[in-house]
Chain A
């Protein structure tokens, strides 16, 4: 079966005044059906540009992009819109729901631009909302929903046209850790059901849920490994593990009481280092 994404030699050059900014300098990337990939990189690494091109919001300056078996480069604005409508579901960090529309109307929005009849689109929107666990919130407006529920609505909207690619940009960036896990669990469930997912993130713990991590720097792919084989991620996992062991140690020491004051101080430092993740991103 053809891969969902097949990119060869993609470059992207922006013109800022008289200066040329080379955001992407030759990217080759293949993502097969039902893969769950995290794209990582610091800001300025080109990951947003890559995501825009993958999502057909932007066109590469050079190189070829075959999406789900058909060409997705050098298309007109109208043709690109059609590709986005049929092949791609977007999930944004800031949800991007229409404030005056209900959950079901938001979910049905992409269907407005496809050729589905009104009643058919209602039925489909209801179906997807129920699948993401919001069957009882269809008539709620975004301001009546929690952050996690809003992101679920956004995910339902992304899935409503049965896209070949679900593209999420920092989907948990605006959510607390508990809600983030719920959303990630939803992504994992969708992945198990066969959905191809690409998440753009800079959080190692979110990326850890993907099968594969692609890292970018200066417009180039610097590493492309299965998650557990990725050295940076392994490093991160080690540190988290050590931190939790240390935290556990501290807890035990605290319970046993006395004699361990010095050790407790050291352990606490270890925990904050691990969770902060400053070293990981550097």
Chain B
């Protein structure tokens, strides 16, 4: 109780002291202010950017895996870019054998000319796929029915349209059962799927387009080949990205008879691994910012120590008096430590406000990717904690000096 009261009284006194020497206090706290301000701005911006990126990935589906045939670096330019495209037999094998995924579909893109009544649209995006696509993309039929395996197995001329297509082609609001012409073939519309907003820069992202979805087998019947542009799959468990990558890679390596030394001629990527990568980069930036702040706190701390030493020698008589009227050395130590900590905390708080202000200013820029940048609570805690610690560490020497003063000598000090 007594000690709390002492700390409180000392803190009030210290604040008064700061107010009385404003310029000196600001100059002293500059290092800590800049350090904390910089780290708050950096961490806030990094976290904001990270959450922006992760949100984008989230719209793409966190359990999503994509697979693609690639030309290894050593063979680049010597083989056709489609040489190693995923074969449908490979995907079928994976579908039946892979344990870490619960859905898979090839993605085969065509560009089509669509005619519905008098309306004609060219360059329409047409995708051939398996029914698992609904599960992976989380796009169910909102009207009619989804594609089913029978459509694939029987190579039916059926299609799904999105609502953009309904508008563009002036179809009925429920066009299920209507026919359209795709590259002069008659297709039955069996269902409607939602247009899903996917962030720009991702497959299927950007502005909503007129989309048609048809069975994969139908797509390759129109454009004969036995490969897919790429394949999508879905992790059985959200956390199983690494296992899935390992399993799918080993299956593909085996199917493609790659030896121990051979490079992969395919790639398996998971959204999760990209998320992990982004998180790692963000953590790296945060750690680097932490290093920077450590340096500025060191510099700031030396400033604090300097000013506290000045304060101790300026107030030698006061210390002598306080001791004469009964202040124990430990109480004097506490008084000067509290002063140093208050100094550092005030500096830290000013830095915090400055950093947060900077961040808000950046976030306020129109269409800024940092729109939802904020200062995470832990960063506030950590920077204030470190400020206080700086006060304790660098205030300790002056405080010990004050505590050890001989009251007689101190009272005689000029």
Which residues of chain A have a CB within 8 Å of any CB of chain B? 52, 55, 57-58, 77-78, 81-82, 84-86, 90, 92, 96, 98, 100, 109-110, 112-115, 118, 157, 161
Q: Could you list some 11 contacts between A and B, CB below 8 A?
A: A77-B329, A81-B326, A84-B324, A90-B325, A96-B320, A96-B321, A96-B411, A100-B17, A113-B325, A113-B327, A161-B326
A98 to B330, CA, bound (A): 20
B222 at the interface (CB under 8 A from A): no
B408 within 8 A of A: yes
Report chain A residues within 8 Å CB of B325. 84-85, 90, 109-110, 113, 157
Return A110 CB to nearest CB of chain B, in Å.
4
Residues in B whose Cβ lies below 8 Å from that of A115:
2
The smallest C-beta distance from B327 to any residue of chain A, in angstroms, reads 5
B23 at the interface (CB under 8 A from A): no
A113 lies within 8 A of B5 (CB): no
B322 at the interface (CB under 8 A from A): yes
**B323: CB under 8 A from chain A?**
yes
Assess A52 versus B326: contact at CB under 8 Å? Given A98-B321, A100-B16, A118-B5: no
Q: Mark B314-336, 1 if CB is under 8 A from A, else 0.
A: 00011011111111111100000
Docked-complex contact A112 and B6, CB < 8 angstroms: yes
Q: In the complex, which residues of chain B have a beta carbon less than 8 angstroms from the beta carbon of A81?
A: 323, 326-329, 331
Counting from the closest, the 6 A-B pairs by CB-CB distance are A85-B326, A110-B325, A113-B326, A81-B328, A78-B328, A96-B321
What is the interface of chain B mostly: helix, strand, loop, or mixed? helix
Q: List the A residue with the shortest CB-CB distance to B6.
A: A112
Given A96-B317, A96-B321, the answer on whether A110 and B329 have CB atoms closer than 8 Å is no
Determine if B20 is an interface residue (Cβ-Cβ < 8 Å).
yes
- Measured CB to CB, the nearest residue on chain A to B317 is A96
C-alpha gap A81/B321 in the complex (Å): 11
Give, as a whole number of angstroms, the nearest-CB distance from A112 to chain B: 6
For residue B9, CB closer than 8 A to chain A, the reply is: yes
8 Å CB contact of B328 from A58, A96, A113: A113
Query: Measured between C-beta atoms, what is the minimum distance from B17 to chain A in Å?
Result: 8
CB closest chain-A residue, reference B315:
A98
Chain B: minimal CB distance from A167 (Å): 10
Per the bound structure, the CA–CA distance linking A114 and B328 in Å amounts to 10
A92 nearest in chain B by CB position:
B411
CB distance from A151 to the nearest CB of B (A): 14
* A57-B408 CB under 8 A given contacts A113-B325, A118-B5: yes
In the bound complex, CA of A77 to CA of B114 (Å): 97
Please tell me if B112 contacts chain A, counting CB pairs below 8 Å: no
